[in-house]
Structure 1
Amino acid sequence: MKRHPHIARTLLFLMLLGWMQGMQGQENLEIRKIHFKGNKTFSDKELKQQLNLKGATWVEKKLLKRQSELFAENAYQQGIDNLTRFYQTEGFLKTTFQEPDIHIKRDKITLTIPLTEGAPMVIGNVFSGNMAEFLTKKKATKRLLATPGKRFRDEWMKADGDLLTRSLTEKGYAYATVQHHILADTTFMLVDVQWMTDKGPMCVFGKTTLTPVARTPERITRKQLAYREGQPYSPLKLSKTQQQIYDLGTFRVASVKAQLTQPPTDTVHVAIKLTEAPGITTRFGVGYGKEDRFRAFVELQKLNFPGGVRRTTFYASHSAIEPYLIKTTITQPAVWGPKSSVSLTPYIRNQKEPGYKLITYGSTLSWIQRLSTHLTGQANLSINQVLLDTSTVARISQNLTKQYARTGIETGLVYDNALPRFDPTRGWIVTGNTQYITVFSGDRTRFFKHQLEVKNYQQVTPSLVVATRIKAGTIDLLNQSVAAPVDDRFFAGGSRSVRGWARQQLGPVDADGIPSGGHTLTEGSMEARQKLMGPLSVVGFVDWGNVWEPSGHLSLTDLHWAAGGGLRFATPIGPIGIDAAKPVYDSAKSWQIHFNIGHPF
């Protein structure tokens, strides 16, 4: 069969010309949606981020105020170039993009972009070069991302380079640099990597200079330094120093920088630039919730008062369940080292809960010790007087008078590595504490109160987070013939408890149907948080729990269950939302509606 290559070239040219004219015919039409076809490794959402074109549906325009762009051939070609470079940085050197499928309806375009990813480059061997001392250690190599058998990614190479550089600087090589050389075989799609370094001199800390400030004594700031002159250089100690200076609470800016010079020297001086925070700050806010109704607060803080790095904070708040709380806290940072602080808080508080009404006034002395980045310990000593409304459930506590004194000693630990702070998607929060409480009311009542709460956050997909919570507590009475005061008892039900019941409505009640609380508590929740679009998300949850009168009594068959769902709207200070829940096995109970600022847990 005779071939005519000139005819094939002519046909190919005409097809390309027709496609380009078709593309020109779509100029300045509004883009509605963009899809990809053939993408196996990356989602449509990830690929759209590389394009210069953005579409928007009618719903996205109205609810999220998104603006769709007009189709332009130049912008489309630039977007394809961006996608090609993106695939190359992810190890795909042979990715190709075919002619797009353009669907027009009512002068709006739905664009489908077909592509062939091809096989990725895979890492073959990783050679240590002159870094054998580090890369031969098993613990160190586990931290590397780009290892044999994995897909080659530019991002991983940069991250491993930063890791190797940090490993050297932490050993005192302040001027260390790390580079990598790659050898690519596109036939077998393999990449060999070789790491090389220039360590430079071994360094020690030199002198430290601090910016003079008006209110905070320099001698106190210097006590927050995590290093001493002549010690081996360490960037980690510089970061630790910065955190410890911030912990004083008197600085708005604390910049800690090593003064590296050229040519390199074996002594690294440090410059710390400080800017003090305003001497007086105020905060206030108002809000509304189903349980606390209208609420408001005001806070006034004065730094460096009364002297040194102490600070004094005045706080007052109001809500339906807490008509007033007024307290003043005087805090002394860096008491027994940079990581500890002591505070004294006198206060007066009025509570109107479904189960009791009382007024409490007294003082709490607290010691807080930061044990590690995520672990904090605390000890409290409290002394207060309680004025009790005896027309409530307090009648069941025959050992209590209308007015009694109370002392408490509390110790506790908090582990918190959950991030982000106001809307966690990963990590744990574990809180445990024990109190020894003595009540002076007629006969002396003594008891221990133990509580443990565990929260976990798991990001299942980029848009789905599963949060779980388990809480348990018990009161151990040293004299079984008496009962714990009503304000120390456990209650369940409400927006941050088992949401199928109103506040404090789950558990024992007295003869008049008023919640009386109990000496044992367990409750938990599992909640799926799914993002919909923009700041809007939907949640579905199951809660369970109960309260028992006897100490240490726990029966799984007595657990009460509730299920429901809700909406969340993300804000810079955390989500706001509404939840609706109903008991699962109790058809007589009605739905409960809860308004929340922040997640329930």
Structure 2
Amino acid sequence: MSFDGDEVISGDELADRIATAESSRLLGGAFEHVPVLSIWDALTVEYERFDRFVLERDMARIERYYRARGFYDARARAAQVQRAGGPDKDGRVLVRIVVSEGEPVNVASVDLSWRDWTLEKGRDIARPVTEAKDQLKIGERLDEERYEEVKQTLLRVLTDRGFAYATVEGHVDVDLVKHEARVRYTIELGPECTFGKVKLEGLGELPEGPLRTAIGIEEGERFSSGKLADAEQALADFGVFGAIGVKPELAQPGQPRSPVVPVTFSLQPAALRAVRLGGGAEVGSRVEAHLVAGWEDRNFLGGLRRFSVEARPGLVFYPIEFGSLGDDEFRLLPEIQLRSELRQPGVFERRTAAVLRGSFKLYCPQTGEYCKPPDDEEDEDPVGAPPAQEPVQEEEREHSIVGYREYVGSIGLERPFLKSDLNVALLYNVQLNSPFTYNPAPLPVGFGTIFIPYLQALVSYDRRQNRAGKPDRLTPHHGYYVALDAQVAGQQRFDTAIARALIGEESKKNFHAARDVRLQPEFRAYLPVSRKWTLGFRLKTGWLFPSEEYGEPDFDATRCDVSASDDDRAECGADLQLMQFRGFFSGGATSNRGYGYNEVGPHARVPNQTGEEGETAQDAPLIPIGGRLLWEASLELRIPLGESFGTVVFVDAGDVSREYRLFRSGPERPHLSAGLGLRYTTPIGPLRLDVGYRIPCMQVLGVCSQTLAEANKNKEIWPEDEGSPGLLFDVLPIAVNLAIGEAF
């Protein structure tokens, strides 16, 4: 279906207002005749039936829509309906709609008329009413939607300032000859009102006190529809109601208007207690399966306290990844996560909540320093590197598979602002990580207990909305999201006392405390490019300012050699371990999708460090060591294919550096990747499959090879601190990611 003559009102906008619709195909049917991909096209196509009588009614709908947008002379007709050619396209028709927009009608004047104006009533409403009226600009095209918006704005101005019975009537005189419109709004104020008794219905077992505190409306104060809206949002923030109704008890037409307005809140509580049982799996940079069991009480011990607890046991098939599925040799690594949260509403004031969290994890971290076996291709010498020593037998230099027992406690305050679009949290966190090994190998030299006490401020402003204009974080169609995670670790005086209480007389070499400032801002934007297609953009950065004890820009892996001094090896291990928790890494399902987990960023050849003879920094594998500066950018076109399916086309880029600049020393490294994805809608978010391809010559500018081994073969100089990303099935420079929820 196509439109001709749609100069001001786009064809996509018109198509969204009529019943006749074209069949939906993946990328417009581009894969219809492509081998293999044609199956994908056939499975996702959604056919629309053509009806000539529906099309005739659509012509009237188009003309009416044009009039609503100010084009009173607009005409629409179906210029052509013809069958598509070709024997493989039987039953298909092409519809061509021709519109003539004509000259628009513009606003010539906007006036106000008062029925019961007095100086006493108008003491604080004259200016806001005038500002609201001026939102309809003289000279702009008359738009019915805009006209109604101004009328509703005028009504809110009045009801927010005590005039509960206020009415606003609108009238428009249209001169079709001059193409001008004169708009007049007539206002009746009514009596100034105050709030009467506030009544809550349908509470059930919920306590009334905390709800009244959250509502925050006192009998006798000035009536305000804005306060009613804030009270409704405050009740919704509790998360215990399925429906909330707010009804000011106004006098019926013809009855005396009482200046005292009672308010009734009609509430429908949702289920207050819930048990969750389920399971899941991950196939990507690692392969794992897990179970989930949880319990939640939204009125714990009364007072609308929310308490939840969850357990998540699982098994990791180490070291299998998506590209190595089918390998016979693997080790099962057990993992478990326990976490709980207690939330107390109404602390200090009605919308501030106190939060207490605790968690325990036993896991193998994916940061990969000592949880990934050596890659044979990485053992090849880079061009220009000194000759390596003779390779050592694998069993003599087995890397430690390091796991952690992690204990985390958090306490703080959270509060929403601006109708819950702005959320602010201030937390104090204490994190303790105790390392162990899953295999018989000892812990690397310098590895010890990690202590991370930090103050954290979380600020987010969320204006993401769906096509209907309602808040939507899962499938936004337009809007933006801004967030900042700011942390200050180990800078408080009482942290020292906590550390001493935890470690006692333990040696300093076996205990590392983080001291740093960590900032991570993020910006997301969503732009509707058509009535269904959405263009999403994300920019994310991170800044780590560590103490002198770790995170040095120039990482010297020779300090980890068995020939290095004990102090050097201990400092090297502490640097690796602390950066594992505080540094930045990039690559993976929610990052750069052309790479596996943490494959982007500074890498180094770090020896085994377990105290065994034989391995030096020259023949050790490349591993990620974390960075102090992160930047990531993503651009994604989201294309829905009916109610349940969708597809995306994306481009990702980013880098991590140990220096405070966007690009590391040497050539610039955008790590550019592009790919396609599939989406399937579920109640908890879209199930997505993304396939990312690393674009040749756009990973490290000046190097067109995809791996270290290929660079050596092609006589290209591979940067010393650049990792060697994995290949899918050891052949393709592709990463595959399967996850729940959008990447951003």
TM-score by length of structure 1 reads: 0.84
Q: Which amino acid aligns with 2:524?
A: N
Matched, 1:45 2:45: no
Alignment: residue pair count: 562
Structure 2 counterpart of 1:172: 162
Matched, 1:470 2:515: no
Matched, 1:442 2:507: yes
1:527 match: secondary structure: strand
Give unmatched runs, 5+ long, in structure 2: 30-40, 85-89, 317-333, 370-401, 465-471, 551-570, 608-619, 708-732
* Closer/same/farther in 2, CA of residues 231 and 358 from structure 1, 3 Å limit: same
Structure 1 counterpart of 2:603: 508
Structure 1 counterpart of 2:740: 597
Q: Deviations over 1:421-456 (max 9, x none)?
A: 113332122122113236656326350231222122
* Closer/same/farther in 2, CA of residues 227 and 335 from structure 1, 3 Å limit: same
1:129 to 100, 113, 126: 113
CA positional deviation for 1:85: 1.7
Whole-angstrom CA distance in 1 between matches of 2:315 and 2:346: 38
2:631 match: secondary structure: strand
Relative to its length, the structure with more strand (as a share) is: 1
2:295 to 276, 296, 300: 300
Whole-angstrom CA distance in 2 between matches of 1:568 and 1:418: 25
Structure 2 counterpart of 1:410: 455
Kept in 1: contact 2:133–2:154 (CA 8 A): no
Whole-angstrom CA distance in 2 between matches of 1:351 and 1:411: 24
* Closer/same/farther in 2, CA of residues 247 and 101 from structure 1, 3 Å limit: closer
1:537 to 644, 647, 654: 647
Whole-angstrom CA distance in 2 between matches of 1:111 and 1:543: 41
Q: Deviations over 1:568-589 (max 9, x none)?
A: 4252543323131316235233
CA positional deviation for 1:515: 3.3
Whole-angstrom CA distance in 1 between matches of 2:163 and 2:131: 20
Q: How does 1:456-495 map to 2 (within 5 A)?
A: 456-459=524-527, 461-462=529-530, 463-477=533-547, 479=549, 483=575, 485=578, 486-495=580-589
2:215 match: secondary structure: coil
CA positional deviation for 1:203: 0.7
Structure 1 counterpart of 2:280: 286
Structure 1 counterpart of 2:656: 546
CA positional deviation for 1:593: 2.4
* Closer/same/farther in 2, CA of residues 289 and 265 from structure 1, 3 Å limit: farther
Structure 2 counterpart of 1:452: 520
Q: Deviations over 1:206-244 (max 9, x none)?
A: 111112634322122211122211111111111211222
Whole-angstrom CA distance in 1 between matches of 2:136 and 2:514: 60
CA positional deviation for 1:101: 2.1
Q: Deviations over 1:174-199 (max 9, x none)?
A: 11111122221111111111111111
Q: Which amino acid aligns with 1:600?
A: A
Kept in 2: contact 1:173–1:200 (CA 8 A): yes
Matched, 1:527 2:638: no
Whole-angstrom CA distance in 2 between matches of 1:88 and 1:525: 42
Kept in 2: contact 1:226–1:240 (CA 8 A): no
Whole-angstrom CA distance in 2 between matches of 1:240 and 1:544: 41
Q: Which amino acid aligns with 2:10?
A: S
* Closer/same/farther in 2, CA of residues 217 and 186 from structure 1, 3 Å limit: same
1:376 to 423, 433, 458: 423
Q: Which amino acid aligns with 2:60?
A: D
Whole-angstrom CA distance in 2 between matches of 1:142 and 1:394: 72
1:232 to 186, 197, 222: 222
* Closer/same/farther in 2, CA of residues 190 and 538 from structure 1, 3 Å limit: same
Whole-angstrom CA distance in 2 between matches of 1:141 and 1:242: 27
Matched, 1:268 2:261: yes
Q: How does 1:53-72 map to 2 (within 5 A)?
A: 53-56=20-23, 62-64=42-44, 66-72=46-52
Structure 2 counterpart of 1:19: none
Kept in 1: contact 2:76–2:98 (CA 8 A): yes
Whole-angstrom CA distance in 1 between matches of 2:431 and 2:655: 31
Whole-angstrom CA distance in 2 between matches of 1:516 and 1:58: 42
Matched, 1:569 2:679: yes
* Closer/same/farther in 2, CA of residues 412 and 382 from structure 1, 3 Å limit: closer
Whole-angstrom CA distance in 1 between matches of 2:129 and 2:188: 22
Kept in 1: contact 2:452–2:514 (CA 8 A): no
* Closer/same/farther in 2, CA of residues 103 and 57 from structure 1, 3 Å limit: farther
Q: Which moved more, 1:118-127 or 1:95-104?
A: 95-104
Q: Which moved more, 1:306-315 or 1:484-493?
A: 484-493
Q: Which moved more, 1:185-194 or 1:141-150?
A: 141-150
* Closer/same/farther in 2, CA of residues 315 and 53 from structure 1, 3 Å limit: same
CA positional deviation for 1:472: 1.0
2:61 match: secondary structure: helix
Kept in 1: contact 2:169–2:186 (CA 8 A): yes
* Closer/same/farther in 2, CA of residues 58 and 408 from structure 1, 3 Å limit: closer
Structure 2 counterpart of 1:387: 434
CA positional deviation for 1:165: 0.6
Q: Deviations over 1:68-89 (max 9, x none)?
A: 33434x4343222222222222
* Closer/same/farther in 2, CA of residues 320 and 453 from structure 1, 3 Å limit: farther
Please tell me the root mean square deviation across aligned C-alpha atoms, in Å. 3.3
Whole-angstrom CA distance in 1 between matches of 2:361 and 2:20: 58
Q: Which moved more, 1:246-255 or 1:306-315?
A: 246-255
Q: Which moved more, 1:197-206 or 1:527-536?
A: 527-536
* Closer/same/farther in 2, CA of residues 416 and 282 from structure 1, 3 Å limit: farther
1:515 match: secondary structure: strand
Kept in 1: contact 2:594–2:691 (CA 8 A): no
Whole-angstrom CA distance in 2 between matches of 1:40 and 1:256: 44
Q: How does 1:248-259 map to 2 (within 5 A)?
A: 248-259=238-249
* Closer/same/farther in 2, CA of residues 117 and 142 from structure 1, 3 Å limit: same
Whole-angstrom CA distance in 2 between matches of 1:212 and 1:588: 64
Structure 1 counterpart of 2:486: 433
Q: Deviations over 1:326-362 (max 9, x none)?
A: 1122222222222222233332202212225212135
Structure 2 counterpart of 1:14: none
Structure 2 counterpart of 1:325: 337
CA positional deviation for 1:465: 1.2
TM-score by length of structure 2 reads: 0.69
Matched, 1:146 2:158: no
**Structure with greater contact order relative to length (CA < 8 Å, sep ≥ 6):** 2
Whole-angstrom CA distance in 2 between matches of 1:183 and 1:327: 65
Kept in 2: contact 1:205–1:232 (CA 8 A): yes
Q: Which amino acid aligns with 2:628?
A: T
Kept in 1: contact 2:129–2:157 (CA 8 A): no
1:90 to 69, 83, 96: 69
* Closer/same/farther in 2, CA of residues 503 and 259 from structure 1, 3 Å limit: same
Structure 1 counterpart of 2:35: none
Kept in 2: contact 1:379–1:409 (CA 8 A): no
Q: Which amino acid aligns with 2:74?
A: T
Whole-angstrom CA distance in 2 between matches of 1:556 and 1:140: 56
1:577 match: secondary structure: strand
2:632 match: secondary structure: strand
* Closer/same/farther in 2, CA of residues 494 and 108 from structure 1, 3 Å limit: closer
Q: How does 1:204-223 map to 2 (within 5 A)?
A: 204-211=194-201, 213-223=203-213
Identity %: 18
Structure 2 counterpart of 1:311: 306
* Closer/same/farther in 2, CA of residues 98 and 429 from structure 1, 3 Å limit: closer
